[in-house]
Amino acid sequence: MTPSLQCQYSGNPLMRQIFLVIALIAAPVAAFTSFELYANKAPAKTVGLGDLSSFKTIVADVQSLASKGDLGGAAKRITDYETAWDQAETAIRPLNPNDWNNIDAASDAALKALRQSAPSADKVNKTLAALMAVLNNPSQLAQ
């Protein structure tokens, strides 16, 4: 304190206590506010899409049929996947729209490959592998 302030407040213990109270309140408030400002600038943690095992099971079935050359059976079985995926959209998509879009794009590619008038076994197998990879790691874009 400057000498003039010391003289002015040194004789008044109440004023010293008020300044002490203000300092004791201001320090934690400043620390808490600084932390909150820092924490709010940190990147948000992404949320997963939940349990995707039922979708993976269907895709594994489709892959098995396609690898045996039964593209007709694979096309029928992928309809089960499409139905389940579409029914789950309202619950899953809001959890992480980016991850959902990655899976949906891979799903569309697999559906398109299987539903061509003359599907290519190679293309079907590649799109199904890409779909399974994205189901295993939804933050990755399908290759």
Where residue 65 falls among pLDDT bands split at 50, 70, 90? Answer: very high
Q: Are residues 59 and 32 in the same domain?
A: no
Q: What is the pTM of this model?
A: 0.67
Band (115; pLDDT cuts 50, 70, 90) = very high
Residue with more model confidence, 130 or 1: 130
Assess whether 77 and 124 both reside in one domain.
Answer: yes
The residue with tokens 């109440």 is 14
**Are residues 37 and 88 part of one domain?**
no
pLDDT at 51 over 80: yes
Tell me the torsion sign for CA atoms 112, 115, 118, 124.
positive
Q: Is residue 143 part of a domain?
A: no
Angstrom distance (rounded) from CA 26 to CA 19: 10
Per-residue exposure over 65-84, b if at least 16 CB sit within 10 Å of its own CB, e if not: bbeeeebeebbebbeebbee
Domain membership of residue 74 as a residue range: 53-136
In this structure, are 72 and 119 located in the same domain?
yes
User: Which pLDDT score, from 0 to 100, does residue 18 have?
Assistant: 82
